[in-house]
A and B are shown apart, each in its own frame.
Chain A
Amino acid sequence: QGQLQLSGPGLLKPSQTLSLTCAISGESVSSEGASWFWIRQSPSRGLEWLGRTYYRSKWYNDYAVSVKSRITVNPDTSKNQFSLQLNFVTPEDTALYYCARGNYHFDYWGQGTLVTVSS
């Protein structure tokens, strides 16, 4: 089983862009057997899937309807990692953010990082 290491700022102001990176060890981000996910957890919304990127001869993405207009998930093959960008954040985006590997389910998760949106 591989490992995922999450990094990124923990404090943002409303309307700013949330940017997180998840570094993968033990497997390639281009592996055709995996998808790479962003998930968040908050007391008000519980566990919420946000988006994924995956490679099946070419790159694909899927995004949750709740954030579809604001989210981008990108792979970085040169660094074997993937990223989350969430635009125009509000206090409702305050949550513990996780990256995870999976397909129908999530095999393993990064450690999580708390992101707070406050003026």
Chain B
Amino acid sequence: EIVLTQSPGTLSLSPGERATLSCRASQSMSSTHLAWYQQRPGQAPRLLIYGASSRATGIPDRFSGSGSGTDFTLTISRLEPEDFALYYCQQYYSSSWTFGQGTKVEIK
């Protein structure tokens, strides 16, 4: 099983600032199988990025994903008020899906 470790646990930023979230895999993996989700309080996770860098339908272009091998990054170029939330990375490998423990982006 591939373990995903997200950092930092909490990111304290102001609206308009840039957010950089990290997801590290315990072994090298296909970037095709790495996704990012946003979860707001009381809501189900929402797909943001799949295939490490492809935005899901309706996702604003301030969200971008990058990375390969074991290191992946989600970047929010300029934080909007609605972007303060929890973010999770997720991977697929050999009929098994796992999630990172999450990064909370909070208002500073």
Contact = CB atoms under 8 A, between A and B. Distances in A.
Give the secondary structure class of A's interface.
strand
Nearest to A98: B44
Given A105-B35, A105-B90, A49 B96 contact: yes
A109 interface: yes
Given A64-B96, A104-B92, A105-B92, A47 B33 contact: no
A71 to B, nearest CB: 14
Given A1-B57, A104-B35, A109 B98 contact: no
Contacts of A49: 96-99
A5 B46 CA distance: 16
A106 interface: yes
Contacts of B35: 104-106
A46 B47 contact: no
A46 B99 contact: yes
Interface of A: 1, 37, 46-49, 62, 64-65, 98, 100, 104-112
Nearest to A47: B99
Contacts of A98: 44-45
B88 A47 contact: yes
A65 to B, nearest CB: 8
B96 A106 contact: no
Contacts of B98: 49
A69 to B, nearest CB: 16
Contact of B95 (A62, A110, A111, A112): A62
Contacts of B45: 47, 98, 106, 109
Q: Which of A49, A62, A104, A111 has the most CB of B within 10 A?
A: A104
Contacts of A107: 47, 56
B47 A106 contact: yes
Contacts of B44: 98, 100, 109-112
Contacts of A48: 99
A37 B56 CA distance: 19
B97 A46 contact: no
A57 B96 CA distance: 21
